[in-house]
Amino acid sequence: MKHILVPTDFSECAEDALKVAAKLARMSGAVLHVAHVYFNVQPTFVYGIEEDDGSITERMRDNIQEQLDVLLSIPEIEGLKVQKHCIMNKPLWGIMDLETLKNIDFIVIGSHGSSGVREFFIGSNAQKLVQAATCPVLVVKQYFDPNKIDKVLFASNFYAQAVDSFKPIKEFIDLADANTNLLKVITPGSFEETGRSEKLMKDFVKSVGLKDHTMGIYNSTSIERGIHAYIDQTKADLVCIETHGRSGMGHWLAGSLAERVVNHADVPVLTMKIEDPEFKYDATLPENN
């Protein structure tokens, strides 16, 4: 975690995300990148005076720079290495392609509770940003102190691909010095014998070198219901889940499972993309039979 990105629309939830990111930057020594995207406008009449789009865009840019300066004057930022990015004519989900952001290895996004991702993070913008991001994305609804996270819940199928996706998550867990609860939810449509689930989880623990942890297998009618129930049962402070590379958000975040977890969970959610292996029947299979 060397370069942390926080997109902002200057809303309250975006400022909370910035404060969380600032705390993480202070804990890890990372550089904090704060970005705002905007689009230039066509020639129009402003207060009855016709202006060209160049002058209007320049005023917009100056105004955004002023807002960024005000935002970065909060006490939480003091003493940190900060870079601000005022990005024109680039959608939020496309900014990861910019040369100036090529080193980003962690993203923090603000979100509004159960009503979904609003304002700057509304609709497909945030979804596509997570689709495009190959690094972990932390979704927060309100400020929390990462240094005070005690219990982290990692929900997964614990197949071979989960090992690589867990590496950056483990870095976050180690940084917070938190306990880890591993969860595998078994549903009627994805039945798996308990012995097999336990073996997959034990093999995973051995592969990632996880020490302070508990393992749980939970039966539920759906994965998201199982995750929410386990959050309540374990009093988890943070939930970690995987997103699939096949469709960007795939099974875990594209308008389905993780989106519902993000929208309805009262705790922050950390997502990490994994790439689906190329199997003939489009199935994700365990490494060990």
- Domain map (residue ranges) of the chain: 3-140, 149-274
Is beta strand 49-51 parallel, antiparallel or unpaired with respect to 82-88?
unpaired
Q: CA-CA distance, 272 to 249, in Å (whole number)? A: 10
**3-class secondary structure, 234:** helix
Are 120 and 12 within 8 A, CB to CB?
no
Which CATH entry fits the domain spanning 149-274: 3.40.605.10, 3.60.21.10, 3.40.50.620, 3.40.50.720? 3.40.50.620
Q: CA-CA distance, 38 to 87, in Å (whole number)? A: 6
Q: Is the pLDDT of residue 235 over 80?
A: yes
Same fold, 3-140 and 149-274: yes
Residue-wise pLDDT tens digits, 40-61: 765 555 545 555 556 667 788 8
Whether the model pTM is above 0.85: no
Mean pLDDT of the 276-281 span: 43
Question: What kind of fold does domain 3-140 have according to CATH?
Answer: Rossmann fold (3.40.50)
Q: Is the pLDDT of residue 280 over 70?
A: no
Give the count of beta carbons closer than 10 Å to the beta carbon of residue 272: 23
> Which alpha helices (DSSP H) does the chain contain, by range?
12-28, 53-71, 124-132, 161-176, 194-208, 223-234, 250-253, 257-264
Q: Is the pLDDT of residue 81 over 90?
A: yes
User: Which residue from 30, 198, 14 is spatially nearest to 92, judged by alpha carbons?
Assistant: 14
Phi, psi of 78 (to 5 degrees): -55, 130
